[in-house]
Structure 1
Amino acid sequence: MSKGPPPPPPDPVMELCGSSPVTCLAFGEVTFADKKSTFFSGHQDGKILCWNIKSQRILTHLESHSETVLWVASPKENILITQGREGFLKIWAAEQSNWKKLGTISTAAYIFCNSSLLSLADYYLVSVPAEESGTISVHRILSDFTVDGGQTPQKLIPTSQKELGMCMKMCSFLFKSSVQRLLVAYESGSLLLWDMLRSVILSKLKAHSDSVMCLDICSTKDQGVFRAFSGSVDTDLKSWLITDDTLTQDQFVSITNPGLSSLASRRDGRIVASGGWDGSCRMFTTAKLRPLVVLSHHKESVQCVAFSAENRLAAGSKDGYITMWDVYVDK
């Protein structure tokens, strides 16, 4: 007996209208006058909007940067870390109904590369793109979220800077509980795995023929094995295994329309979502990159995707809208 066609994909559970094209997203918590914001969107006009998801309203906004916001993170309640394309990373604390700037770190200006934050026992490490092409600068942030002024930033300088080009994306992670690793994607299409402590390249491979446009990483069910995902201007979504500090190709899948601009893996490491130039979000299994669903709603490129702790997917678009989706959410 025929099962018939599969059911159509669901509609978003909410749609939020931002101030300008949406460039980055993060879930977290900030409280202003007993009202809590649980979601943050960075925009092309340099603003960060702080949303209350229950009311679907903007709680407050932060005039954070003079150029596009490239990255936003909320590692702790009432703390935001933002990076702007003008060349500054800023650390903010919520106080009453205002924002207090705790510190500033210089980054490369007018590029597209995000920063990456790594939480350790007593401090944080933030990796930022440095002014020298292809170079990463690693700074220490203390537990009170001030910048450690007594520490000289560590530099990760590749030997073939001209060959690699600019840094495009990066992800830091802890390998085997305490070993610090950084995966960096470059303009040349290469991926480099760095030992952050020793500033040494551990593994390198050519991932794409063009610049890497998006990158993410997750743990696997095998202890000490991680899986990375990358996309470029073509139709290929690829995954890579990181085993014993070595990068190897895992899986790849071709999507219908070219251009991948964003990737996010779910916290349980089972699903990865992509945002595409065609305005669609797609979900895949991480193990085999098996396509699960195509979510079509936005009129322009989906420039950022993020999962909440409850596995809800958020997608931000060049059209200025943010959608929230309850797809493959455990209820």
Structure 2
Amino acid sequence: MDGGSRTLDPILTLRVPPSSTEDHPSTLTSTKGNRSTISSLCFLPTIDNSLIAASPIPPQLKESSSNEQTSLVLEHRIHDEDDDQEDESSDDDDDYVSKCQSITQAERVHDADVTSEARHAAVVASLRGQWLATCHTNGDSILWDLGRQKATNRVAPNRGPAIALRRCIEGEDSATGLHTKILLQTRDEMGTVTLHDAQAPWLRDGLSETARVETCSQTFCQAAPCRGDWRLVALPAYEHDWVTVRDWRVPPSNTPVLSMPASAGRAATYDAGGVHDMLTSLAMSTTSEYGRPILACGMESGNVFFHDLAMLREKSSIATFAPDVLSSDVKLSQDPILSLDMMPSSSISSAGASVVTIAGMAGDSLELLNLLENERGTVAVLKTTLTDASSSLVTRLRSRVATCRVHEGSYSKPGVNLCRFRPDGRIFAVGGWDRRLRIFDRSRKTSPLAILKGHTTGVSAMDWAAHAATSGILATGDSDGCVYVWRCFSS
């Protein structure tokens, strides 16, 4: 599946400070001296240094950060397996080019030290002003200054195992352009989800908290802010197969804006018995034409349900307990849908507005061998369209791609932990069980554009920088407590 793909190495590696049970008495999932699994991460906006001045580094982070060695890779090597190109020049020209290449290679060896220093400076300069937040299964949530390669503070005090960090763009701000808040979700007793303001003065114990809701969920399903309307967020619920949608404008003490079974809807189809088990993943986006929120719910059964939430466009519309929403669904697998991400479709036709969704599935190589080859892919690209007069919601499978090869005698790990669109939606990244991160073109049904190697365990966290369409900056994390920063397909 990887023939012709480029292989990229990280430009920066950060090692999470070892866990300490004395610092976090509530820690249940790690022992002192061990690094905790990175469950999620996200980039922060550019931070004004004056906001950080009043926020001293917590002693344990300061000590650990100074003792941990950060690996700064000076150059990401690109190995292009399809780099052979036809040359229409004459044999004499070929000889001349060959001599020039030999001279150039000799100069590179001679000037290796100078080149390394220059590349080091370039990498540091490119990351200056870049901030990253990570959260961990032991409850830690760490803020990183990528320019200095140091842990500087926490997002919030430890309140239990953390499972999600998401960036929410709130709206225009006169000083910074776009004002950004950070969503933190934990599996504490109340299943708490909080919003934090990264562009307000930092506190000693983290970022300023601006909102809090208690979902009572104890599942691993991650919250999903609505792309295109930051005010809406989809959340797991106490009932493991239900979903709630909150509007941050509505006080958390009030009822949810919407609460319904994830597989509900008047147009949805059902398996025999109508059992879809647990809600495992969520995604939500507005359509580019009508601005209507579309919610996607990935299920343990391998189904994905799509719901048109047009009623949420009005703040006063409070719909609780399974509203009569327009829905559709598609069966992708016998295995759980572990990750979803959604973008407005770039093409707007007279037929209606649409969204594009990528779905990542669990997958066992032995089980996949029993399927037809075109059904073995654990990544699916789906398009959901609102038809004329919004009379129906139609979902179709656009393409299905595989990660690693599956064949007799193989022990490959084709399952997918997470999928994320780049902010412009043209390409997307897939984090696999096989320790690889793959970059795909949304419009091409081919092998990956690139394979990012470096993780020693499955990729467990991922985020594109807000400016990734031009900078190519992407960050990933794993269960070994390592954060990798990459640059791929920058303009």
Name the TM tier (shorter chain): 0.7 to 0.9
Alignment-derived partner of residue 24 in structure 2: none
Once the 2 structures are TM-superposed, how far is the Cα of residue 113 of structure 1 from its aligned partner? 0.6
Question: How do residues 200-219 of structure 1 correspond to structure 2 at under 5 angstroms?
Answer: 200-219=325-344
Alignment-derived partner of residue 319 in structure 1: 480
Alignment-derived partner of residue 170 in structure 1: 282
Closer, same or farther in 2 for the Cα pair 1:298/1:275, shift >3 Å?
Answer: same
Q: Single out whichever of 319-328 and 106-115 deviates more from structure 2.
A: 106-115
Alignment-derived partner of residue 135 in structure 2: 42
Query: Contact 2:212 / 2:252 at 8 angstroms: preserved in 1?
Result: no
Closer, same or farther in 2 for the Cα pair 1:67/1:320, shift >3 Å?
Answer: same
> For the residues of structure 2 that align with 1:220 and 1:89, how far apart are their CA atoms?
29
Closer, same or farther in 2 for the Cα pair 1:49/1:10, shift >3 Å?
Answer: same
Closer, same or farther in 2 for the Cα pair 1:296/1:185, shift >3 Å?
Answer: same
Closer, same or farther in 2 for the Cα pair 1:180/1:299, shift >3 Å?
Answer: same
Alignment-derived partner of residue 294 in structure 2: 181
Question: How do residues 226-265 of structure 1 correspond to structure 2 at under 5 angstroms?
Answer: 226-234=355-363, 236-244=378-386, 245-256=393-404, 257-265=413-421
TM-score, length basis structure 2: 0.61
Q: Secondary structure at the match of 2:251?
A: coil
> 2:203 matched to 1:97?
yes
> For the residues of structure 1 that align with 2:6 and 2:291, how far apart are their CA atoms?
44
Question: How do residues 60-139 of structure 1 correspond to structure 2 at under 5 angstroms?
Answer: 60-76=153-169, 77=179, 79-86=181-188, 87-93=191-197, 94-98=200-204, 99-118=207-226, 124-139=231-246
Query: Contact 1:128 / 1:138 at 8 angstroms: preserved in 2?
Result: yes
Once the 2 structures are TM-superposed, how far is the Cα of residue 95 of structure 1 from its aligned partner? 3.4
Once the 2 structures are TM-superposed, how far is the Cα of residue 151 of structure 1 from its aligned partner? 5.2
Closer, same or farther in 2 for the Cα pair 1:13/1:232, shift >3 Å?
Answer: same
Q: Secondary structure at the match of 1:9?
A: strand
Q: Single out whichever of 215-224 and 166-175 deviates more from structure 2.
A: 215-224
Q: Secondary structure at the match of 2:381?
A: strand
Alignment-derived partner of residue 16 in structure 1: 14
> For the residues of structure 2 that align with 1:151 and 1:140, how far apart are their CA atoms?
10
Once the 2 structures are TM-superposed, how far is the Cα of residue 152 of structure 1 from its aligned partner? 4.5
Q: Single out whichever of 81-90 and 161-170 deviates more from structure 2.
A: 161-170
1:24-81 deviation line (CA, Å, top 9, x unaligned): 1112235564447622111111121111121121121134443332211232546322
Structure 1 unaligned runs (5+)?
none
> For the residues of structure 2 that align with 1:152 and 1:237, how far apart are their CA atoms?
32
> For the residues of structure 1 that align with 2:290 and 2:475, how far apart are their CA atoms?
29
Once the 2 structures are TM-superposed, how far is the Cα of residue 287 of structure 1 from its aligned partner? 1.0
Pick from 51, 63, 66 the counterpart of residue 144 of structure 2: 51
> For the residues of structure 1 that align with 2:336 and 2:154, how far apart are their CA atoms?
33
Q: How many residues align?
A: 322
- What amino acid is the match of 2:455? H
Alignment-derived partner of residue 455 in structure 2: 298
Query: Contact 2:8 / 2:450 at 8 angstroms: preserved in 1?
Result: no
Q: Single out whichever of 98-107 and 276-285 deviates more from structure 2.
A: 98-107
> 2:339 matched to 1:220?
no
Query: Contact 1:31 / 1:37 at 8 angstroms: preserved in 2?
Result: no
> For the residues of structure 1 that align with 2:227 and 2:431, how far apart are their CA atoms?
27
More strand by share: 1
Q: Please tell me the root mean square deviation across aligned C-alpha atoms, in Å.
A: 2.6
Once the 2 structures are TM-superposed, how far is the Cα of residue 191 of structure 1 from its aligned partner? 0.5
> For the residues of structure 2 that align with 1:187 and 1:320, how far apart are their CA atoms?
27
Structure 2 unaligned runs (5+)?
18-35, 53-128, 170-178, 265-269, 312-322, 364-376, 387-392, 405-412
> 2:260 matched to 1:156?
yes
Query: Contact 1:128 / 1:137 at 8 angstroms: preserved in 2?
Result: yes
* Bigger relative contact order, structure 1 or 2 (CA pairs below 8 A, ≥6 apart): 2
> For the residues of structure 2 that align with 1:306 and 1:277, how far apart are their CA atoms?
17
> For the residues of structure 2 that align with 1:315 and 1:162, how far apart are their CA atoms?
37
TM-score, length basis structure 1: 0.88
Alignment-derived partner of residue 248 in structure 2: 141
Closer, same or farther in 2 for the Cα pair 1:9/1:152, shift >3 Å?
Answer: closer
Once the 2 structures are TM-superposed, how far is the Cα of residue 220 of structure 1 from its aligned partner? 3.2
> For the residues of structure 1 that align with 2:49 and 2:427, how far apart are their CA atoms?
34
Once the 2 structures are TM-superposed, how far is the Cα of residue 190 of structure 1 from its aligned partner? 0.7
Closer, same or farther in 2 for the Cα pair 1:297/1:119, shift >3 Å?
Answer: closer
Closer, same or farther in 2 for the Cα pair 1:6/1:243, shift >3 Å?
Answer: closer
Q: Which has more radius of gyration?
A: 2
> For the residues of structure 2 that align with 1:322 and 1:226, how far apart are their CA atoms?
31
> For the residues of structure 2 that align with 1:7 and 1:149, how far apart are their CA atoms?
51
